[in-house]
Amino acid sequence: MAAEDRPQINLVTPPAPAPETFPDLLARVLDAVPVACLRLSLATKDVDTLGRAADLCREIAHARDVALVIDDHLLLAGRHGLDGVHLTDGARSVRKARKELGPDAIVGAHCGITRHEGLAAGEAGADYIAFGPVGATGLGDGSLAERELFEWWSEMIEIPVVAEGGLSAELVERFGPVSDFFAIGEEIWGAADPVAALKALIAPLG
């Protein structure tokens, strides 16, 4: 796959990273593999914990010219100097996020497996649309975002599209020609060596 056609990587944090070890691990991953964007996606709703994680990740990411977005928290994105938000509720919050964070912020929207939701988010001003899961995760009702959705989107719509959820090397190879980004997180953090796991996962991209 030609370099200019190769999908880029959005790296998603673990839901509960260990504060003692994760900063070094994150730095190692970002130094080993080109990453376009880091997404702070924590399970906690504690504002102090989220704020500390945002500051830590911002320092590591921005030192490497990697953008940092946070799931859903508009206030924290502004307060902690992040580059934007990744919205998990489809098109519903896109206009509000764009209005509050301004025209230069990154506003992404996860739109499940629905073309209509993706189009609505794009019309509302989203910078990218994420569809997924593309592979089995054991969560939700088992519905998957099919390759045909990505094919149609990449042919008809200019807004970048992100494939995520249950990724394997085989799925990366299959979806690579019709995706602009892969969002990768849970696929690698549980491995003994997340750097090696990430490199193996994206090896089909060349």
Per-residue pLDDT of the chain (206 residues; tens, 9 = 90+): 555 679 999 999 999 999 999 999 999 999 999 999 999 999 999 999 999 999 999 999 999 999 999 999 999 999 999 999 999 999 999 999 999 999 999 999 999 999 999 999 999 999 999 999 999 887 778 899 999 999 999 999 999 999 999 999 999 999 999 999 999 999 999 999 999 999 999 999 98
Asked whether the CA dihedral 68, 72, 76, 78 is positive or negative, the reply is positive
| Count of C-beta atoms within a 10 Å radius of residue 197 | 17
pTM, full prediction: 0.96
- How much is the pLDDT for 152? 98
3-state secondary structure of 76: helix
Cis peptide leading into 133, omega within 30 of 0?
yes
Helices 115-124 + 147-156 axis angle, to 10? 30
- How much is the pLDDT for 154? 96
- How much is the pLDDT for 163? 98
CA-to-CA distance for 167 and 132, rounded, in angstroms?
A: 10
CATH of 3-205, picked from 3.20.20.70, 3.40.50.970, 3.40.50.1370, 3.40.605.10, is: 3.20.20.70
Residues 6+ apart with CB under 8 A from 147: 134, 174, 175, 178
